[in-house]
Amino acid sequence: MGKQLNDLKALDDTPIEQPSDDSPQQPWYQFVGEIDTLLADDNYLWAYDTLCGIKETVEHFRRVSDGQRGAVDNIRHGSRWDAGTGAASRRRYEGWGRR
Q: What is the pTM assigned to this prediction? A: 0.60
Please check whether residue 47 lies inside any domain of the structure.
yes
Please check whether residue 36 lies inside any domain of the structure.
yes
Tally of domains in the chain: 1
Average pLDDT for residues 54-83, to the nearest whole number?
A: 87
Please check whether residue 18 lies inside any domain of the structure.
no
Which residues constitute the domain of residue 48?
Answer: 23-80
With a cut of 80, say whether residue 6 has pLDDT above it.
no
Please check whether residue 66 lies inside any domain of the structure.
yes
Please check whether residue 4 lies inside any domain of the structure.
no
Kindly report, residue by residue over 8-54, the tens digit of the pLDDT. 777 666 766 555 566 788 999 999 999 999 999 999 999 999 999 99
CA-CA-CA-CA torsion for 82, 34, 55, 19, nearest 10 degrees? Answer: 180
Please check whether residue 87 lies inside any domain of the structure.
no
Cα 91 from chain centroid?
A: 22
Please check whether residue 97 lies inside any domain of the structure.
no
Q: Where are the beta strands (DSSP E) in 1-99?
A: 81-82, 87-88
